[in-house]
Structure 1
Amino acid sequence: MGKRILLIVGGGIAAFKACEVLRTLRKRGHTVRCVLTPAGAEFITPMTLAALSEQPVHTALFALKDEAEMGHIELSREADLVVVCPATANLMARMAAGLCDDLATTLLLATDKPVLCAPAMNVRMWLHPATVRNVAQLRADDVIVMEPDEGMMACGEFGPGRLPDPDAIVAAIEEALDKPFPARLLGIDTAPPFVPSAVEGRAASDAPEARTSMAPGANEDRADRGPLTGQRILVTAGPTHEPIDPVRYIANRSSGKQGFAIAGALARLGAEVTLVAGPVTLPTPPGVTRIDVETAREMAAAVEQALPADAAIMVAAVADWHVDATAIKIKKQPGAAPPTLALVQNPDILAGLSRSAKRPRLVIGFAAETNDVIAHARAKLAAKGCDWIVANDVSGPTGQSVMGGDANSVHLVTAQGVEDWPHLPKQAVAERLAQRIAASLAQSLLELP
C-alpha cells in the first residue's frame, strides 16, 4: 500500500535528480507532496514538480492561500516520511542547528515523523569539519543521512559528495517507511538500564573470559548500503585494569568515548564492527558486536580471536605493565617500607597485530602524548609498523580533559605526512576518521593484483 511522502527539494545542480526520485515514487504508488526551496527553484520549477506529483507545490512560509487550506504544521505531520533531496550543506547545517527561517526548515523542525536526507555537495564541503559535525548531530537526532556517492562532480572535482543514485534513494525511502518510528519521536524513553561492564574487586586469577554482547536492534541499525558494507573492522577502546590485589589495580584516565564513537561511525557506514572494550560504562553503539575485557592480556587474546579483519583501529589506552597480583589485600605494616611492585611488560597489541600473518589491510594506532606529540607519533608509527597514528596532546588541564571529555584535537600521522585536525566533538572526529577509513579501504581494493 502506498505511503505519504513530503519531498523537500534543496538547491544545487542535483535538484534535477529529485524529479527522477519523485517519478519513481509515484510509479510505486506513493503519494508525494513537494516543497521547493528558493535555491532549488534556481534549478527546477514548481510546475515540473507539480506535474510529476499531481499535487500543489509549496514554496513560501507565509503563503496565505496555503495556510488557509493546509497550515505548515499539518503539512509537516500528515506525511509518513519527510525526505530532503538534495540535502545541501546549507540545509543540513540549518537542520542541525534547529533553525526555522523558511518553509523547509520550519517543516523539518515542526515534524514528528522520520526524516531522510540524501546529501549532495562539493567534496570539500562534504569533508569539511563543520559538515562532518552537522551530519553527526543529525544522526544523533535520529535523522537518516545517506552516504553520498563518489565520482566526478559538476565543478570538475572528484570525490564523495555526489547525490546517491535515484534508485538507491528510493530504496532507502522504502526501507525507512518499513521501519517503526524512532521511539524518541513518539516521546518514549527507551534508555536501557545501566549494566556495568566490569566487576570491581576481583583478583587476576578470578578474571572471567571476555564477554560478548551486541546492542539491541544491531542488525537493523547497521547500514546495509554504506561504503563499508562487507568490511570487517576491529576496534579497541577504553583503558585496561591491571590488578595489584583484589581491591587495587593499575589504570589510566581513558573513558573509551573516542573508541566507542569510532565503532558506531564505522557501523553506520555499513561495516561489521567488533569492539573490544576495556572496563568502561558506555552503552554499546548500535550495530556493533562488543567484547568486554579487563586486562591487557585479555584484550590481546580477544583481538587475536576477532581476526581476520579488513581494518583494525587500536584506540584503547592499554597499560604497558602488569604485576603478579596477590590473592589477598596488601596491608600496611607499621614501620615497614612500602611494598615494591615488580612490573612485568604487557604484550604490545599494536605491534603484534601489525606484524601478524593475519594483519588487516589497514592498521591504525592511537598515541596520547604529553610532549613532542608529532615526533613521538612518528616514532611510534615506525616502531609499531602500523599504517596511521592518530595522536593527541594530553598534557596539562586542557589535554587531560580529552581523556574523559567529549571533544578532541588530533593529528593524523602517516608515511605521507601529518594532518592537523581542528578541535572537534569526539563524534565528529569519529565520523571524519570513518570516512577516511572507507576511502582508504576502497583504494586498497583497487590496488589489489
Structure 2
Amino acid sequence: MEKSSFADFLTCPSVLSAVFVGGCVLLLAYILKSFRNASTEEKDQSEPGSSTVERKKDSAVSKQKKKQNWTRSADQAYAQPWLLKTLKNHTGQVHTIDFSSNGKYLASCGEDRAVLLWDSKDLTQKDIKSLRVNIEFDHPTFVKWSPDSKAFIIHKFNENAIEVYKIEKKKDGWLGHATKALTFPKAHETDVIGMGIAGNGKYIMSCSNKTDLVVWDLKGQKLAQVDTYLMTTTCAKISPCGRFIVASGFAPDARVWEVLFSKSGEFQEVKRVFDLTGHSSGVYDVAFDADSSHMATVSKDGTWKLFDTKIEYKKGEDPHLKITGKYHQAAPHSLIALSPNAEVVVIATGSSLAFYSTLTGHHDYTIDNIYSGRITSVLFDAMGKYVLTSGDKYVRVFHNVTGYRCSIATAKDKLKQQQTSATKERLEKIVADCEAFLKTIEKK
C-alpha cells in the first residue's frame, strides 16, 4: 500500500506542475548569473590590466621577474667591477684553458666531452664565436695549442692518453672543423696532472700524480722518462721558451730540467739544471712570465715566491729570490699565475682569486665566490690585460686592475730618474691612460 500511494503521489498533476515550475526557476537563475558574469568580464576588458588576458600576462611577467631575480641572484657574485665577461657554452665542469701563441684563439675543455675553441682576438666584443669539438666516449682533462695554432692536443681521462687534433680553417679565416690525427700510447698508470707542448715545437710532456714524467716527440714516441723524486707530483709545466720543464709536489722545492737537442735538432737528454728553493712545505703550483726569465711558486706553507731565473745555471748560478709574500690558504690546493711582465701574481684558492703586486709583495684585491666549486685553472692573456679562470661550466674573464696600478707605480718611479723628453712623454701617457682606466672601474 505504501509503495502504491507514493507512486500515485508522484504522478499527481499538481506535483508534476510544481516540479516543472521549480526547474524553470532554477534554469532562469542560472541564465541570469551567467549573463552577469559575462557583463562583468566585458567591463573588466574595458579597464586596462583587469581582464583575464591581462591577469595571465601579469602572472607570466611575475614568473619572468622571479626567474630573472633568481638568475641575478645566482650571478650576483660575478657582477663586480673587475669582471669583463663570462663564456658559457660548456655544459659540464671546465677543467683547463689555453691561449694559442698567436693570441687569436682560446681553448677550453671539460666534462661535457668537448673542447671549445673561442675567438679571442678581442675579448671586449659582445659575442664571442666558438667552435665545439666533441671528444668520443671520454672527456679531456687538459688542452694545449700547438705553436703554429693549427692543432691542439688533449689528455683523455678514461684512456689516460694524449690525442692530437688538426684544425682546418674556412675561407674567412675562422676555424672549420677539427679531426683526430693521432693517439699516443698509454704511458701512465695513475692520473695525469700536467701536460704541455714546447713553444719551440720540439716535444710534448706528460706527468702523472706519482713520479713518472715522460717526454715525447710529436709523433707519440717516447724520448725520455724522468723520475721527479717528489713522492707525489702536483704540477708539471713547460716554460714558454720551451727549454725547461718544471715539476713540484710533496717536496718544498720545485725542480727544473732542461730538454736538450743537438744543433741538427736531434734529441739528446733531459738534464736537471736547478731548483726553486726556500719553501718549508710542498709546492702546489708554478708559473712563468712571458720569456721564462721569472718563475713563481705557491706553497702549502702559505707563501708565494718570485724568482729571477735569467741565470748562468751552467756555471752553477742559482735562481735569485726577488720577493716573497703571504696568501690566505683556505683550501687544500692553490694555483698560481704570473703576468707576462712579472709584475702581478694571482693565486686561486678554492673559489677565490687574490691579486698581489710583485713590486711590493702586498695583497691588492681578492674576488670571492667566483664559482660554486673550485677554480680549476687560471692564466693571463699575452698582453697581461686580463686574467682568465675556469670552473663550474664557465670561463670568466677579469680585468687585471692590479696590473694597471703596478704600471703606474713603475712609470712614476722611472719619471723620477733622468729621462729623454720622448721617454718622459711616453711614461706620462702610460700614467694618464692607466689612471683613466682605473676611474672607469671605480665608477662600476
Kindly indicate which of the two structures has a greater share of residues assigned to strand: 2
Q: TM-score, normalised by structure 2?
A: 0.29
Q: Tell me which structure has the larger Cα radius of gyration.
A: 2
